[in-house]
């Protein structure tokens, strides 16, 4: 299609502000799906897709819109992942567009992810169209939210579109704005092929499906192609678009967006952000800014039962077919035996993977507390990157330790400000900015060690603000910190899987808290269990779990039989997740005790 009539755009929004609902309205309005399919939505669509042997990636769709100017436009709506862990993917999806709808809930206002997404969009030179959604709600205050957009984001909101994605208000105005405000692509059809990979996934029938934005030239079935970063070559087997059903097309040309299937077996052979070209007539310049994503949060994952080790490895291999950003390497722990050190893009990503391992693969696992990568400079000049506290060299050998920091943006209603400022201080945060967005809300910018954020920051932020604070972050780099390793000893034996790295100033206090928490979590046994926290050779806190004397049900004072039963069942349940450390039964929760402090 003539690029004049193509518009590539994304919808960016804070979670729950209405991105998916608005996408549904746009699909419906342009008649891409007939009413019957539209009503039954995703599941039905998936069913149809399965028959065709290809999975659908929700909301990356090609729509045709007959605009008021009498022309028919090809609109490509490009979906972006919704979470901060996947910032790089979001940024690549945005790089495939010329513009974006900036959706803000008119009853909530600008939130942290609104701002983070706007920055990514501006980095990619996108034209932004503000849309104030949910104007049907009684609490909607579009004028105030317009002011917030101008104040906080610095974007002219005078022409913001008032919409209700729920009721369909404003849909046509939005489509007209897409056509009139977002610039068309400016590629060159006659130049060698240059296409950017912005998404890919594994389909069990088709192998790897790759979404591309063609910058210059064209790509069609039968073409030999090369991925410029990995240098891997393939032959294109299918080219198509989602309408939202997958539909084969003859070719994708400059400015267009679609999928290719090229006999690629493994997801890890396709890098997001990579450039595809023709090996015999290559583009001289790959798409700029390619970077390989690296995990930033790590934890140990161990089977409770040693004989499940092979199943765990198989499960991790299967999961990484669909998610090439997971890394895993065999690891041995004196306490936990054989397992894996796994790397993730962020906390949410880690939680999703852990949950899938347990739910989909029915594995009984022990996971250790999340850590970041520390850079350790030894006195002998050697540099180490440490993703497991247990592998930190002895204090005496260390010259300096550097840890990763983030720049956090937090928006909080002023009534909760006190609690949030305290939390940020507890987390070693340094204030960089403090501004009132309106009389009721404050935007904060802090620099915080990532290690403090991977440990229960988000949960605490939510509980201290009744869920009303929003949070987003980006990396700001490595800096030296005074860090020490805190070891935990159970009955005098150090338990490597319980070691954590903490700031020197908090070490005593953290040691005390951790020992107390472990005392709560480790059940009584036939003998006393001594729990100690140590820094180097120095014990900084101790506590004892006393041996039990009587039957546990004695606690119930005879009475309620169902309660007794429940208690016994709970114990049995707990038993499944026990790991024997020496002679002591230690429950899974103990290995995550550090997440539950304070
Ligand atoms: P997303 O997280 O940005 O994709 O948000 P969703 O599209 O899933 O919407 C979040 C919630 O807001 C859902 O319960 C929607 O039904 C609701 N919602 C979306 N748009 C509107 C709207 O215009 N008005 C009202 N009242 N609710 C809406
Ligand atoms: Mg959504």
196 in helix, strand or coil? strand
Could you read off the pLDDT of 142-175 as tens digits, one per residue?
A: 999 999 999 999 999 999 999 999 999 999 999 9
How long, in residues, is the chain? 598
- pLDDT category of residue 553 using cuts at 50, 70 and 90: low
User: Between β-strands 207-216 and 194-203, what pairing exists: parallel, antiparallel or unpaired?
Assistant: antiparallel
Q: Is residue 430 part of a domain?
A: yes
Q: Does 31 share its domain with 174?
A: yes
Q: Does 42 share its domain with 157?
A: yes
Could you read off the pLDDT of 8-37 as tens digits, one per residue?
A: 999 999 988 999 889 989 988 998 666 555
How much is the pLDDT for 135?
98
Residues 6+ apart with CB under 8 A from 293: 88, 89, 272, 325, 345
Q: Is residue 21 part of a domain?
A: yes
Question: 441, 415 in Cβ contact below 8 A?
Answer: no
Q: Does 320 share its domain with 422?
A: no
Is 18 annotated as ligand-binding?
yes
Among 327, 348, 368, give the residue marking a domain's end.
368
Question: 256, 216 in Cβ contact below 8 A?
Answer: no
Using CB distances shorter than 6 Å, the residues near ligand 1 are: 13, 15-21, 133-134, 136-137, 164-166
Residue minimizing CA distance to atom 9 of ligand 1: 18
Q: Does 205 share its domain with 311?
A: no
d(CA 172, CA 29): 8
Distance 345 CA to ligand 2 centre (A): 20
Q: Does 421 share its domain with 539?
A: no
Among 181, 212, 246, give the residue marking a domain's end.
181
Among 446, 464, 481, give the residue marking a domain's end.
481
CATH code of 473's domain: 3.30.70.240
Is 380 annotated as ligand-binding?
no
Tokens of 350: 């880690």
How much is the pLDDT for 561?
59
d(CA 496, CA 515): 15
Give the nearest ligand 1 atom to 167 CA.
23
Distance 355 CA to ligand 2 centre (A): 21
Distance 156 CA to ligand 1 centre (A): 24
Q: Does 451 share its domain with 558?
A: no
Q: Does 148 share its domain with 136?
A: yes
CATH code of 222's domain: 2.40.30.10
Could you read off the pLDDT of 562-584 as tens digits, one per residue?
A: 665 665 565 555 455 678 888 89
- The enclosing H or E element of 103 equals strand 99-105
How much is the pLDDT for 550?
57
405-406-412 Cα angle (round to 5)? 135
Q: Is residue 291 part of a domain?
A: no
CATH code of 332's domain: 3.30.70.870
Q: What average pLDDT does the segment 248-253 reach? A: 96
Distance 475 CA to ligand 2 centre (A): 25
ipTM for the predicted complex comes to: 0.99
Could you read off the pLDDT of 92-148 as tens digits, one per residue?
A: 999 999 999 999 999 999 999 999 899 999 999 999 999 999 999 999 999 999 999
Q: Does 34 share its domain with 71?
A: yes
Closest ligand to residue 171's CA: 1
- Torsion over CA: 392, 395, 396, 399 (sign): positive
Q: How many domains does the chain have?
A: 5
Could you read off the pLDDT of 371-414 as tens digits, one per residue?
A: 999 999 999 999 999 999 999 998 899 999 999 999 999 999 99
Q: Does 132 share its domain with 40?
A: yes
Q: What average pLDDT does the segment 172-197 reach? A: 97
Range of the domain at 254: 194-277
Q: What average pLDDT does the segment 78-88 reach? A: 79
The pTM is what?
0.84
Q: Is residue 187 part of a domain?
A: no
Q: What average pLDDT does the segment 293-317 reach? A: 93
Residue minimizing CA distance to atom 10 of ligand 1: 16
- pLDDT category of residue 62 using cuts at 50, 70 and 90: very high
How much is the pLDDT for 15?
86
Neighbouring C-beta atoms of residue 160, cutoff 10 Å: 21
Is 216 annotated as ligand-binding?
no
Distance 307 CA to ligand 1 centre (A): 46
Is 538 annotated as ligand-binding?
no
User: Between β-strands 224-227 and 337-344, what pairing exists: parallel, antiparallel or unpaired?
Assistant: unpaired
166 in helix, strand or coil? coil
Q: Does 43 share its domain with 120?
A: yes
> Is the predicted pLDDT of residue 58 greater than 60, yes or no?
no
């Amino acid at each position: 299609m003539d690029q004049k009539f193509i518009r590539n755009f994304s919808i960016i929004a804070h979670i729950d502000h209405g991105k998916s609902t608005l996408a549904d309205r746009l699909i419906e309005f342009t008649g891409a799906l007939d009413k019957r399919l539209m009503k039954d939505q995703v599941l039905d669509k998936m069913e149809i897709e399965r028959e065709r042997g290809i999975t659908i990636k929700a909301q990356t769709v090609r729509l045709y819109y007959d605009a008021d100017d009498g022309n028919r436009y090809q609109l490509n709506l490009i979906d972006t992942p919704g979470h901060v862990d996947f910032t790089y993917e979001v940024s690549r999806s945005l790089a495939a567009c010329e513009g974006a709808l900036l959706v803000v809930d008119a009853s909530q206002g600008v939130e942290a992810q609104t701002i983070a997404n706007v920055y990514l969009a501006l980095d990619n030179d996108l034209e932004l169209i503000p849309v104030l959604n949910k104007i049907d709600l009684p609490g909607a205050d579009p004028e105030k939210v317009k002011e917030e957009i101008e104040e906080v984001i610095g974007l002219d909101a005078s022409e913001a579109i008032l919409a209700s994605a729920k009721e369909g208000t404003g849909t046509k105005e939005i489509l007209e704005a897409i056509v009139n405000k977002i610039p068309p692509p400016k590629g060159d059809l006659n130049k060698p092929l240059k296409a950017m990979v912005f998404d890919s996934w594994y389909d069990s029938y088709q192998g790897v499906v790759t979404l591309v934005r063609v910058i210059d030239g064209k790509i069609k079935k039968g073409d030999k192609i090369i991925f410029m970063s990995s240098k891997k070559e393939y032959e294109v087997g299918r080219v198509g678009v989602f309408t939202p059903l997958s539909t084969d097309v003859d070719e994708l040309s400059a400015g267009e967006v679609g999928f290719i299937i090229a006999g690629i077996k493994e997801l890890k052979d396709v890098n997001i952000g990579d450039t595809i070209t023709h090996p015999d007539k290559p583009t001289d310049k790959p798409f700029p800014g390619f970077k390989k994503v690296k995990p930033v949060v790590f934890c140990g994952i161990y089977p409770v039962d040693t004989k499940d080790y092979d199943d765990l490895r198989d499960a991790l291999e299967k999961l990484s077919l669909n998610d090439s950003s997971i890394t895993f390497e065999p690891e041995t722990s004196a306490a936990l035996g054989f397992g894996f050190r796994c790397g993730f893009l962020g906390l949410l990503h880690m939680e999703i993977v852990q949950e899938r391992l347990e739910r989909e693969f029915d594995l009984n696992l022990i996971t250790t507390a999340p850590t970041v990568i520390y850079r350790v400079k030894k006195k002998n000049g050697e540099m180490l990157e440490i993703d497991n506290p247990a592998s930190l060299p002895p204090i005496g050998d260390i010259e300096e330790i550097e840890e990763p920091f983030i720049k956090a943006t937090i928006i909080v209603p002023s009534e909760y400000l006190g609690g949030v400022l305290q939390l940020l201080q507890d987390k070693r945060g340094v204030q960089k900015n403090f501004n009132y967005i309106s009389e009721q809300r404050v935007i904060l910018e802090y620099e915080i060690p990532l290690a403090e954020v991977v440990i229960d920051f988000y949960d605490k932020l939510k509980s201290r603000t009744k869920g009303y604070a929003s949070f987003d972050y980006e990396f700001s780099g490595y800096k030296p910190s005074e860090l020490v390793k805190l070891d935990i000893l159970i009955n005098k034996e150090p338990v490597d899987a319980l070691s954590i790295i903490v700031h020197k100033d908090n070490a005593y206090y953290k040691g005390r808290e951790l020992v107390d928490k472990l005392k709560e979590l480790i059940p009584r046994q036939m003998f006393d269990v001594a729990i100690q926290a140590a820094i180097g050779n120095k014990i900084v806190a101790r506590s004892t779990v006393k041996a039990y004397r009587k039957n546990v049900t004695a606690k119930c004072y005879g009475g309620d039989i169902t309660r007794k039963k429940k208690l016994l069942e709970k114990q049995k349940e707990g038993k499944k997740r026990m790991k024997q450390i020496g002679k002591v039964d230690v429950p899974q929760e103990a290995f995550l005790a550090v997440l539950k402090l304070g």
